[in-house]
Structure 1
Amino acid sequence: MTSTIIRLSVSDDIVSWFDSVGPILFYTVVFGLVFAGTGLFIGAFIPFITGDSLVFAAGLVAAANADSINIFVMVIGVGIAAWLGDQVGYTLGRHYGRPYLDNRQGKWLQKAIIKSDQFYDRYGWWSIVVARFVPWGRVIMPALAGISKMDYYKFFSANAVGAVVWGSGLTIAGYFTYSIPGVRSAVYIIALVVITLSVIAGVRTWRANRV
C-alpha cells in the first residue's frame, strides 16, 4: 500500500512538471530519465522517478495536452530510450565489468561467474523481459547479462520486447487512463500475466535442460 501511495504521489509530481517546462523540455526530460534509469544506473537510486510512474505520467500528460504533446512521439521515444538504456548497461557490463572480474582472484568468484554465465545462457532471455517490471531488476539485469557475456542477439531481442511491453505499454496506459480510469489496473494485470507466463516458460526450459 505504501509503495502504491508513493508511486501515485510521484506520478502527480511528474504531471505538474509540464506546466513548468513546456512540451519540448518535457519530451527531453522524460526520454532522458528513462534512458538514464538503466543506462547510467540512476534507477538504482531513484527507481520511482525513472520507472513506471514516469512513463505512466508521461501518457497522462500527453492525453491532457494533446495539442502540444504527440502521444505517438512519446510512445516511440519512451520505447527507444528504454531500449537504449539497457543496451548501454549491457555494453558497460560486457566491456568493463567482465574484464575487471576476470582479473580478480578467488575460486568463489570464478565459480560465481561460471554459474552466472550458465544462467544467462539458459534463462537470460526471459529474465531480461521479466526484469523490466521490477524497479531494481531493470537496472541490474542488463549489466549482469553483459558481465555474463549473454549472447548479444538474444539480449537485443529480449530488450526490445521488454522496452515495448513496459515502456510503450505503460505510456499508452497512462494516455487512456486519462479518460478510462480502469486502464491502469488492467495493464498491470496484463503485465502480471506476461511475467507469469515468462516464469513458467523459464521453469520448463530449466527442467528440460536438467533431463
Structure 2
Amino acid sequence: MTVLLTPLMLALGTGAVALLAAVVFVESGVLLGFFLPGDSLLFTGGLLVASGVIHLPVAVVIAVVAVAAVLGDQLGYTLGRRLGPRVFSGRASRFLSPAHLARAERFFERHGSRAVVLARFVPVVRTLVPFLAGTAAMPRGRFTTRNAVGGVLWAAGVVLAGFFLGGVPFVAHHVELVVVGVVALSLVPVAVSLAVRRLTGRDAADDAAHDGEARELVGAGSH
C-alpha cells in the first residue's frame, strides 16, 4: 500500500503530512487499521522532507505524527475500556485475525505496561495493545504516559531514518524506487516466518504420520 500511496504523497506535497497523520491515527486507534503501512509511510515522509517535497521542518512533521499516534492509541484504549472482549466475538471477529489477537495478548502479558511503549515499534501489535490495555483496565494515567513516550520515540526514530537517508543524492532523486525497496525488505521477515511455519507444519505432519505407521506396525506384530 505504501507504493500506492507514495505517488499521492508526491502530488500532495506539504499536504502529505495530513495523510501521514490520518494513516497513523487510524492504524493506532481503529482495530481494523492493522493493514495500514505506518512504518514504511513514515519513512517515506522523512524522505520527502529531505528531498524538499514536503516543505516543513522535520521537527514539525515528527510532532504532527507523534500527536496522531498518541491520540490514536488513546482512542484504542477507550474502545477497550468500553467494549472489551465483545469486540472479538460474534460478527466483529470475522474482521480480526485470531492469530493477530493472540500475538498481541502474548506481547502484552510478557511486557506488562511496558508493552504500550514497545508495541509502538511492532506492526499489528501496536494496533491491538492499546485496546488490550483498556480491556485490562490499566490506569489511564499510566497508559497515557507510556503512550506518549512510545509515540514520540516511534515518530522521531522512523521519520528521522527516512530524513537522513533522504539526504543521499541518489535516494533523493529516486524516492519511489527506494520506497519499493523498503517495502520489499519489510516483507522479508513475513516471508521467512511463513516459510518456517510451513516447514514446521510439514515436519509435524510427517512425524505424526511416521508415528501412526510405527503404531500400526507394532500392532500388526503383536497379532
**Aligned pairs (5 A) from 1:1-211:** 11=2, 13-24=4-15, 26-44=16-34, 46-48=35-37, 51-65=38-52, 68-97=55-84, 100=86, 123-179=111-167
Structure 1 stretches (4+) deviating beyond 6 angstroms? none
CA–CA distance in structure 2, aligned partners of residues 58 and 12 of structure 1? 13
| 1:32 to 1:178, Cα distance in 2 relative to 1, 3 A | same
Greater displacement, 62-71 / 52-61: 62-71
Alpha-carbon displacement from aligned partner over 1:114-169 (angstroms, at most 9, x marks no partner) = xx8xx76x943211111111111000100000001011121111111111111222
CA–CA distance in structure 2, aligned partners of residues 19 and 40 of structure 1? 26
CA–CA distance in structure 2, aligned partners of residues 21 and 67 of structure 1? 9
Query: Any unmatched runs of 5+ in structure 1?
Result: 1-9, 102-115, 182-211
Aligned-partner residue type, residue 70 of structure 2: W
SS at match of 1:139: helix
Query: Any unmatched runs of 5+ in structure 2?
Result: 88-104, 172-223
Identity %: 36
SS at match of 2:55: coil
CA–CA distance in structure 1, aligned partners of residues 54 and 151 of structure 2? 26
Q: Radius of gyration: which is bigger?
A: 2
TM-score (norm 1): 0.63
How many pairs were matched up?
Answer: 151
Q: Compute the RMSD of aligned alpha carbons.
A: 2.6
8 Å CA contact 2:70–2:148 kept in 1: the answer is yes
